[in-house]
Structure 1
Amino acid sequence: MYTTFPPITPGHIHRWGGAGLIVARRPDLRQAPLRSPLLSPAERHAVHALPARRRAEWLAGRLLAKRLVGEFIAAPAHEVEILARDDGSPHVVVGGSPMPAVNVSISHTARHIAAALAPEAVGVDLCETVSAAAVRRVADHAFSPAELALIGTDRPDAMAGAWALKEAAVKADRTGIFGPAPRRVRILGLRPPVLSGRRRAMVWREADAVLALVLAHPATPPGLPAALSSGPAG
């Protein structure tokens, strides 16, 4: 079957535009070790406050994000915390100190989980192609008529990719998919992905899921590790 987006290898750390990205297929985490030594007391408190059905995906996302942080800033995993801001978005704390120049984003579906890290605002989102029909039902909320004409409605991977782009963009903006925020981000191209405003984006395919990465207002602050300051790769 023809695929709109290039493939991405699961389980590997990829670099694109100075960002780090990893996507993994979700194992059966119903017996997940919620008292993992990699979780801080604050993280344990957060995970146990969640409904039981959400704990495994929360844990998997945090562990994936911790792996990225450890890779890019050489921090011991047990010193890395991925905590929630008041708006629910994740932020990085290392050794008890917030890391405002290290931004993370996490996404999960029933079969996949992904995490991204960048020096600028970043959003990552997964959408399974089987969700294309659900995306069509809410398309008028998220997409303009011009975007729908560009995307088309007969390609599940295109619909999933467009939705993932919108979700990743509003995550990078720290807004949400509900309300007017999605309409403020315009899709100008799908392959390659082009978004309105000072945003860079990329979309990949992994099995039955589409993965979007969006970097908002890209600029490299001084003093970042070289790994975070590198140009496009991978």
Structure 2
Amino acid sequence: MTPAAAVHTLFPGFPPIAPGHVHRWGGAAIAVARRSGLHREPLLSPAERRVVRALSARRQAEWAAGRLLAKQVVREFLSVRADEVEVLPRADGSPGVLVGGGPVPGLHVSISHTAGHVAAALAPEPVGVDLCATDSAAAVLRVAGHVLSPAEVSLIGTDRPDALAGAWALKEAAVKADRSGIFGAAARGVEILGLRPPVLGGRRRAMVWQAGDAVLALVLAQPAAPPRLP
């Protein structure tokens, strides 16, 4: 039996995640929703609206949907009022959480989109979340050499769109948690040791779900231990 055939036989698919609810996993809070089902409540703050207006028309709806869902997760995670929460770009462009106009120390946020879905995650440790549509499997194969090692390709196989989407989502969620980029050495440095359940190398914990026509990955990257004093 070839590795791909073995994956097709043995890989049972990812567990589903219910959209529209805030779920807890490993100390993190995560939610996924259909973009068409997100209501603009709570409304974006004046600062968030200024960011939206500076974006292209194509990006405006995507950016707003991600922040609206992230704000929903923050409200439930911290038990604060809707009008207290903002999700604004930090100096490096990644999203940051503010409550009452000030940053929340030790709280990390990550946001991801596909054409039909949006996801957001919060955690007290570095976190990355990524959505990959299962119909993107062919595109994943085309760039597999940039992000997957031969051993990972053998493990994942090439005949399961959900497995390929899951592998890509895991890699991208991991480099988001690490605050690095998906292409180049960073993604190859994230080793996939298992897919269901997901197991990654390094100080990382991961989970993968099926979210409609997309696969959703959550990665928690524990901060490096401080150096010991001599």
More helix by share: 2
CA distance in 1: counterparts of 2:76 and 2:106, whole angstroms: 15
The aligned counterpart of 1:4 is: 13
Q: Which residue identity does 1:179 align to in structure 2? A: G
Counterpart residue identity of residue 36, structure 2: P
Q: TM-score, normalised by structure 2?
A: 0.89
The structure with more radius of gyration: 2
CA distance in 1, matches of 2:164, 2:126: 24
Secondary structure in structure 2 of the residue aligned to 1:100: coil
Structure 1: give runs of 5+ residues left out of the alignment.
Answer: 220-234
Q: Work out the percentage of aligned pairs sharing the same amino acid.
A: 72
Letter in 2 for 1:97: G
The structure-2 alpha-carbon separation of the partners of 1:190 and 1:37, relative to structure 1 and needing over 3 Å to count, comes to closer
Indicate yes or no: 2:207 matched with 1:202.
Answer: yes
The CA distance in 2 between the partners of 1:197 and 1:98, in whole Å, is 29
2:79 — aligned with what?
74
1:143 to 145, 148, 164: 148
- Using the TM superposition, name which of 124-133 and 172-181 deviates more: 172-181
Contact 1:199 1:218 in 2 (8 A): no
Q: Distance in 1 between matches of 2:86 and 2:59?
A: 19
Q: Report the counterpart of residue 36 of structure 2 in structure 1.
A: 27
Deviation at 1:154, TM superposition (A): 1.0
Partner of 1:183 in structure 2?
188
Query: Partners in 1 of 2:169 and 2:93 — Cα distance?
Result: 19
Post-superposition offset of 1:100: 2.4
Bigger relative contact order (CA 8 A; separation at least 6): 1
4+ runs deviating over 2 angstroms: none
Taking only aligned residues, the RMSD between alpha carbons, in angstroms, comes to: 1.9
CA–CA distance in structure 1, aligned partners of residues 184 and 80 of structure 2: 38
* 1:167-196 superposed Cα distances (whole Å, 9 cap, x missing partner): 100111111112211011111111110011
Q: CA deviation at 1:41?
A: 2.0
* Aligned residue in 2 for 1:171: 176
Q: Corresponding residue for 2:52?
A: 47
- Per the alignment, do residues 69 and 203 of structure 1 end up closer, same or farther by CA in structure 2, a change over 3 Å counting? same
Range moving further from structure 2, 94-103 or 111-120: 94-103
